A and B are shown apart, each in its own frame.
Chain A
Amino acid sequence: MTAQDTQLDQYGRLKHFLTIEGLSRDLLLEILDHAESFAGVGERAVKKVPLLRGKTIVNLFFEPSTRTRTTFELAAKRLSADVLNLNSTTSSTSKGESLQDMLHTLQAMYCDMFIIRHGNSGAAHFIASRVSPDVRVINAGDGRHSHPTQAVLDMFTIRRHKPDFPRLRVAIVGDVAHSRVARSEIHALRALGVPDIRVVGPKTLIPAGIESMGVTVYNELESGIRDADVIVMLRLQRERMRSALLPGAKEYFNCFGLTNARLRVAREDVIVMHPGPINRGVEIDSEVADGARSVILQQVSHGISVRMAIMAMIMGSLAPGREAG
């Protein structure tokens, strides 16, 4: 079974959250609407709701992460769940225990949900297809494949500023080839009916044949972001520079770094997003990252309510099913 099939139950409800691929517009909008309701919880005296009281959620991170892990943890705690954080360096996987053995051990402790970040594409799907039927899995980033919760929180951020998806021009700029965010983002934008999706970057960082995903490729920044409503900057993974794909950070900034001067060709009300962590002076200038068009910190806050919505929906799918009417 593919990840798309594994993540939906027989009623079409979200059972696991593994990929954006195959999700309908209606289901994505349902997540965004629930997230909107959860956003209000953070404003109250008691920033918690009792939905997942008594549930145990395990954050399994085999790759370093700050904002994704902490926002998942906060989201789980705001739903009143208990949270366990396991990083690969501190767990027994470094003693040679296999991923599957570790899962069985954790399941024997009655954990209800696993949130997984792993360097291998398909890791979350692998686990989701092997857990017992009442355990739920969320993909928090697998290899170069996908990072679906990031894509949803970006859609949430876009909708807060520009709710009319079928009229938007969105430019995704930078290291598209190594980015799991870019892939998930494109699927989500397509599902929501965005007509003009552009990927912008040097030829070496744009995967061949990406046009088949319904995007237009630009190898020059100004033309790529011209009249854009939304610009999504991707982190330039410095480790790639060693592999001779790029001459160096400075050259990259000269060609593809987003500065206020370059931003002028975009729409006046453009929003600039970045999944973080940002490399100041490499893909984005500080004056843009900290400027009036930047919504980068809003993305972090939105990550909490979007993750609350997804966790609540997939735990809700454990219910026997809504009666008709």
Chain B
Amino acid sequence: MARETRIWLKGTGRDNPLIIGIHTGGLWVARRLHRELGITSPVGELNIAFYRDDFSRIGMHPRVAPSHLPLAVDDRHLVLVDDVLQTGRTVRAAMNEIFDWGRPASICLTVLIERGGRELPVQADVVGRRLDLHPDEHVKLTGPEPLALEIKKSE
């Protein structure tokens, strides 16, 4: 995944990217990717709780650490990292939040796991692994050390 991200960034001519992970699983993956790519600028943390589209259905989400983007995103190339891409709603919320921090030059979406079930027109640029899962199977990343995948069937 790190190799493919590197190739992808090189192919598109995007230097010196900022890595941004979505809480919580995406951030673990982002930290690992950041290490593998040897990027010096710190990892950004995104908590999309205030941008979710299900607030009127389930209310406030349990506490998670606040968003923290250590550097200005204006005119920067971003690598947005999440653990699992399924419906696409998280990525929609994340992009909305990023634009409230500034106007990036570009965003590349990198996910560890891509699975079916898209509800929005969102696709990843770099995918660690594609999983063919039944709709009632859930994939969950556990971590931060070691990172492991858990697949569960809902009852």
Measured CB to CB, the residues of A under 8 A from B are: 13, 30, 33-34, 36-41, 44-46, 48-51, 312-313, 315-323
Contact = CB atoms under 8 A, between A and B. Distances in A.
B63 A37 contact: yes
A318 B59 contact: yes
A29 B58 CA distance: 20
B27 to A, nearest CB: 15
Contact of B68 (A40, A315, A323): A40
Given A34-B60, A46-B101, A319-B56, 15 more contacts: A37-B49, A37-B64, A37-B67, A40-B66, A46-B99, A46-B100, A315-B59, A317-B59, A318-B56, A319-B55, A319-B57, A320-B58, A321-B59, A322-B58, A322-B59
A45 B102 contact: yes
B96 interface: yes
Contact of B63 (A34, A312, A317): A34
Chain A CB within 10 Å, residue with most, of B55, B59, B96, B102? B59
A13 B64 CA distance: 18
A30 B63 CA distance: 7
Interface string B97-122: 10111100000000000000000000
Contacts of A46: 99-101
A48 B97 CA distance: 10
A322 B62 CA distance: 10
A49 B59 contact: no
Interface in B74-116: 96-97, 99-102
Contacts, number: 63
Contacts of B64: 37
B5 interface: no
Contacts of A312: 50, 60
Contacts of B55: 51, 316, 319
A275 B60 CA distance: 28
B66 A36 contact: yes
Nearest to A313: B60
A33 to B, nearest CB: 4
A30 B96 CA distance: 25
14 contacts: A33-B63, A34-B63, A37-B47, A37-B63, A40-B68, A41-B50, A45-B100, A46-B100, A49-B51, A49-B97, A312-B50, A316-B55, A319-B55, A320-B57
Contacts of B56: 318-319
Nearest to B54: A319
A48 B102 CA distance: 13
A323 B54 CA distance: 13
Interface in B30-78: 47, 49-51, 55-60, 63-68
Q: Which 10 A-B pairs have the closest CB atoms?
A: A316-B59, A49-B50, A46-B100, A319-B59, A37-B66, A316-B60, A33-B63, A40-B66, A322-B58, A319-B58
A41 B51 CA distance: 12
Nearest to A40: B66
Given A36-B66, A40-B68, A48 B59 contact: no
B50 A51 contact: yes
B49 A44 contact: no
Contacts of B51: 49-50
Contacts of A37: 47, 49-50, 63-67
A45 B101 contact: yes
A320 B59 CA distance: 8
Contacts of A49: 50-51, 97, 100
